[in-house]
Structure formats: C-alpha cells, structure tokens
Amino acid sequence: MTQTYSRRRIVIAGGGTAGWMTAAALARTLGGAIELTLVESDAIGTIGVGESTIPPLVNYNRLLGIGEAEFMRATQATFKLGIEFENWKVDGESYFHSFGLTGRDHWTAGFQHFWLHGLTKGHDWSFDDYCLELKAAHAGRFAHLPDNRMNYAYQLDSSLYAAYLRRLAEADGARRVEGKIAEVELDGQTGNIAALRLESGERLAGDLFVDCTGFRALLIEGALHAGYDDWSHYLPCDSAIAVQTESVRPPVPYTRAIAHDAGWQWRIPLQHRQGNGIVYCSRYLDRDAALERLLGTIEGQRLTEPNFIRFVTGARRQQWYRNCIAVGLSGGFMEPLESTSIHLIQRAILRLIRMMPMSEVSPRDVAEFNEQQLTDMVQIRDFLVLHYKATERRDSPFWRQCAGMAIPDSLSHKIELFRETGRVFRKNEELFAENSWVQVMLGQGIMPRAYHPVATKLSDAELDHLLHGLRESVERTVASLPRHHEYVAQYCGAR
C-alpha cells in the first residue's frame, strides 16, 4: 500500500466555544501533522451563553489531558448533577433529571419495574429516592466517589472556557488570526472553499474548513448553501434573553429550568456569579414582556446588559458539505433545555478527528459523518420534544399548542411503549439512556399501566429488602458527602 501524506491546512472560522474546542482538540491530537489556523473577530464577539453541560464533557477534557481542578479554577466552574424541571408537568410541581442511575437494574428489566411493583404493595417512596446524584443535588452535596459512582458535568463560564482552550491550542501550535471574514472564496472548478478573505486583505487558504461562525453559518450556508431543516413545529421557542447576576447564595450542583406560560427560564450557578435567561416563543410573548419577566425574577445585582438572541430550532441539512464541516451553532440549534449543544460540538470534533481526510475528502466519510451527526440530533430532538408534549398544562395558548402538536413517530412509539409496558430501550448509542427517559417521562406525568412480570417473582420480604436497602444506601452516602460549595472551594483551592 502506498500512501502519501501532505500536511493538511485546516482553517477554523470562528472562536467561540465551538471554534476553540475544535482547535484545542485538533492541535492536541494531530499536532505537527496539520497546519491549523483559527480566525475570529473581536468586533463580532461570541454568543456569550452556553454554561450548562452534560457528563461527556468530562471525557473531552480528559482526552485533552486537562487537569480538572485547574480547569475549574480557570472557568469558575461548579459541578452539575442534573436539571431541576419546575412547572413543566403542571404549574407548581417539579421533577429532576439527574445524571445518575436510579436503583439497580436487573438484566431483564429496569429498576422502574420493581419500583412500580412496590407501589402496588404499599411502598409509597418516590422514584427519586433511589438515585444518589438526585438526592445529593437536592441536599446541595457533592464529592468525587470511587469507581466514578457520582456521575457529573460542569456549569462553567463559556468565555473563560474558550480563553482557556485558546491557551492550550496556541501552545500546541494553532495560529490565531484576528479579523473579520469579508469573503469566502470558492474554487471555480470543484466548488470547494479555497480561502477566506479578511477585511484586512489577508487571505487564508486551506484544504479543510471548519465553520464555527455560530448562527451566521458564513461558510456552510452563506457560501455553500447546505440547507437547513426547520424543527420549530416541534420546538416552538425562538427567542432568548440572557443576563448574568451576582450570586446571592452558595452555588447548587444543578441547573434550574423553570417553565412559564410561553417557554422557560434558566438559572446556572457558577462559582463567581449566576447565569440567568429566559427562553420563549415570540408568538405568545413579546420581547418587552419577556425582558420584564426575566428582570423581575432574577436575584442579585445585575452584572451584564441583557443579551437578546433569536434562533430557529433545527439542523443544517449537511453538517459536512464539500470541504467544510459545521461545528457548533452553524450546524443547528435545538434549545438549551437539556444542555446538549456543547455536547454536539464535542461529538462533531471527535468524529472529524476519526474521519480526518488522508488527502482528498472521501464522499463516504462525508456521508458517514452526516448520518451519525444527524442521528444524534434527531435523538436529542425527540427527547427535548418530550418535555413540551407530555405536559398536563393547558393554562396558556403556548402549552395548549405544545400538548396538541404532532410529534415524530419515533417519539410517539417511545412514549406509548413506556405507557403500556414501563419499558424503554436505548438504540444506536443514543445520548440519553433509559434512566433519563424514565425520569423525564415519570416527571412529566406518564405513568406505566403495567410492569415486567419479573418484579412479581420477588417475595414481599425480598422486595422490601431491595427497596429499603437501596434507599438507605443512597441516604447514607448523601449524608456522608461534603457541601458542594465547600468541596468546590477546597478542590479548586488545592494546587
């Protein structure tokens, strides 16, 4: 086999979370084998939101060899054990989607089947009582436990994270160019991108281009017209306003998603401040009313001016098109409800590294990349739609629209299967595993009508022993954990 490698020139357009995550990962893994340039515009800046993450980010940082305590100091991060969903099923009720497992699954059936059997036997404890991460979150406690028994993510300052990754990427040989892209130059013969021309006149030629220009999608859409699938008929929110405030209390290890009559609000506690925002559907709430609602409910001194953001939920039809790959908001956006955007950035980067072209871009790699990335997005979309569709709220036109909307068949199947049998199956390495679906479906009020017969094989005493034992073990562990904010201070303070 003969194969010639030439040093590929990779140009990343944009330096937000997506741009610097891509640059840091490519520079660290491919180093001298590529020539890496990132161009970003200080005048344009970044979107300035994106602070709540999910557990796979822990692995991304590990792959890059990032020390956790140093990273948390640099980004003012806190630990995150899940999301508290308030007012989603009905106004006044909450449930928690945790990153942990609930109870103990049997190979034939998930723990929910045993819990459901317990209900018929008079055990009236909540499903929540069997999940360590959930109970620790509510108690405001956290610690690293042996064997990764505590599954967690981070709440972080995204601009500090980008700055941190920039230092790594530059140390690993990435070149940063400051300037505004004025033109995307196409090759007349192939239709590929040949170069980016900056306002300064500089020309950045490349073999492969990564579009991290955010919602602008300057390369993948502006120049290449890859197309966009609009999913707003499933995910109707189209606007957000964000503000940062001083913290008024110690940070809790979870994010809050508080539904209101035309969308929801977030609260993300960091070490040094809190991120707040309102997400809404402009058809039912106008900008002034949304701002008033946000400012009327935040706590603590405001640190920033309101950041107004418009978006169309959906996905770029081709995430990789010709010699351009969309990473980040340029590839689509589905809502920050389950903090999945940074995760999709990470997935795209890992895929790009695995499918890095040898010389010419292979159409097979492109097709594979697009199929895998889109599968992730569709699965996440379904999970998000569940939160809106499975509501008992009928108190506003927004919630009536959500409750009445048609949903993807894949989601209907999952909901009906759970309702009829209590079963959930994870397919195709789906991001959200069975326990996530069970927690959210129960939380949104979908109660199974039946459960697996294996649960009835336990005698009353065995069932009692199982349920008591698991619950007590969770309680004991939670009681032994330090307070989250004290643990963060001690962990980040230790050098």
The answer to whether 342 contacts ligand FAD (rule: CB under 6 A) is yes
CB of 138 to ligand FAD, least distance (A): 21
The answer to whether 328 contacts ligand FAD (rule: CB under 6 A) is yes
The answer to whether 49 contacts ligand FAD (rule: CB under 6 A) is yes
The answer to whether 341 contacts ligand FAD (rule: CB under 6 A) is yes
The closest of 378, 367, 320 to 348, measured between CA atoms, is: 320
Site residues for ligand FAD, window 133-172 (CB under 6 A)? Answer: 158
Helices (H), 334-458: 341-354, 363-389, 397-404, 409-421, 434-443
CA-to-CA distance for 19 and 247, rounded, in angstroms? 29
Helix (H) or strand (E) holding 481: none
The answer to whether 76 contacts ligand FAD (rule: CB under 6 A) is no
The answer to whether 216 contacts ligand FAD (rule: CB under 6 A) is yes
CB of 3 to ligand FAD, least distance (A): 34
Site size toward ligand FAD, by CB under 6 A: 39
Structure tokens at 467: 């349920």
The interface region with ligand FAD, picked from 45-53, 80-88, 451-459, 478-486 by CB under 6 A, is: 45-53
Binding mask 181-210 for ligand FAD (x = CB under 6 A): x-----------------------------
The answer to whether 44 contacts ligand FAD (rule: CB under 6 A) is yes
Residue selected from 18, 36, 72, 243 as contacting ligand FAD according to rule CB under 6 A:
18
The answer to whether 50 contacts ligand FAD (rule: CB under 6 A) is yes
Choose between 18 and 281: whose C-beta lies nearer to ligand FAD. 18
The answer to whether 336 contacts ligand FAD (rule: CB under 6 A) is yes
**Using alpha carbons only, what angle is made at residue 194 by residues 188 and 198, rounded to the nearest 5 degrees?**
120
CB-based burial of residue 417 (10 Å sphere; 0-12 exposed, 13-18 middle, 19+ buried)? middle
CB of 346 to ligand FAD, least distance (A): 9
The answer to whether 212 contacts ligand FAD (rule: CB under 6 A) is yes
How do strand 34-40 and strand 8-13 relate by DSSP bridges?
A: parallel
Q: Residue 163 in contact with residue 151, Cβ under 8 Å? A: no
The interface region with ligand FAD, picked from 81-89, 322-330, 364-372, 461-469 by CB under 6 A, is: 322-330
469 is in an annotated binding site: no
* Complete edge-to-edge strand list for the sheet that includes strand 314-316: 228-230, 314-316, 332-333
CB-based burial of residue 152 (10 Å sphere; 0-12 exposed, 13-18 middle, 19+ buried)? buried
Residue selected from 7, 31, 45, 230 as contacting ligand FAD according to rule CB under 6 A:
45
The answer to whether 41 contacts ligand FAD (rule: CB under 6 A) is yes
**Residue 390: CB atoms within 10 Å:** 22
407 is in an annotated binding site: no
The answer to whether 309 contacts ligand FAD (rule: CB under 6 A) is yes
The interface region with ligand FAD, picked from 225-233, 340-348, 368-376, 471-479 by CB under 6 A, is: 340-348
CB of 14 to ligand FAD, least distance (A): 3
Supply the DSSP symbol for 128: G
The interface region with ligand FAD, picked from 66-74, 287-295, 324-332, 351-359 by CB under 6 A, is: 324-332
CA-to-CA distance for 482 and 142, rounded, in angstroms? 6
Give Cβ neighbours of residue 275 (< 8 Å, ≥ 6 apart).
Answer: 49, 51, 52, 155, 242, 244, 266, 267, 268, 269
CA-to-CA distance for 295 and 289, rounded, in angstroms? 10
CA-to-CA distance for 337 and 462, rounded, in angstroms? 39
CA atoms within 13 A on the CB side of 157: 18
**Residue 146: CB atoms within 10 Å:** 6
The answer to whether 481 contacts ligand FAD (rule: CB under 6 A) is no
338 is in an annotated binding site: yes
The interface region with ligand FAD, picked from 8-16, 23-31, 418-426, 439-447 by CB under 6 A, is: 8-16
The answer to whether 324 contacts ligand FAD (rule: CB under 6 A) is no
Per DSSP, the residues of 237-273 read: --EEEEEEE--SSPPPSSEEEEEETTEEEEEEE-SS-
Choose between 14 and 82: whose C-beta lies nearer to ligand FAD. 14
Does 80 qualify as catalytic in the annotation?
Answer: yes
The closest of 422, 424, 426 to 456, measured between CA atoms, is: 422
CB of 54 to ligand FAD, least distance (A): 8
The answer to whether 218 contacts ligand FAD (rule: CB under 6 A) is yes
Choose between 46 and 318: whose C-beta lies nearer to ligand FAD. 46
173: region left, alpha or beta (phi > 0 left; psi from -120 to 50 alpha): left
The answer to whether 439 contacts ligand FAD (rule: CB under 6 A) is no
CB of 445 to ligand FAD, least distance (A): 25
Choose between 281 and 474: whose C-beta lies nearer to ligand FAD. 281
Binding mask 271-290 for ligand FAD (x = CB under 6 A): ------x-------------
Structure tokens at 160: 């500090």
CA-to-CA distance for 50 and 220, rounded, in angstroms? 22
The answer to whether 14 contacts ligand FAD (rule: CB under 6 A) is yes
Residue ranges in contact with ligand FAD by CB under 6 A:
14-19, 39-41, 44-47, 49-53, 158, 180-181, 212-214, 216, 218, 240, 242, 277, 309, 311, 328-330, 336, 339, 341-342, 345
Q: Catalytic residue numbers? A: 80
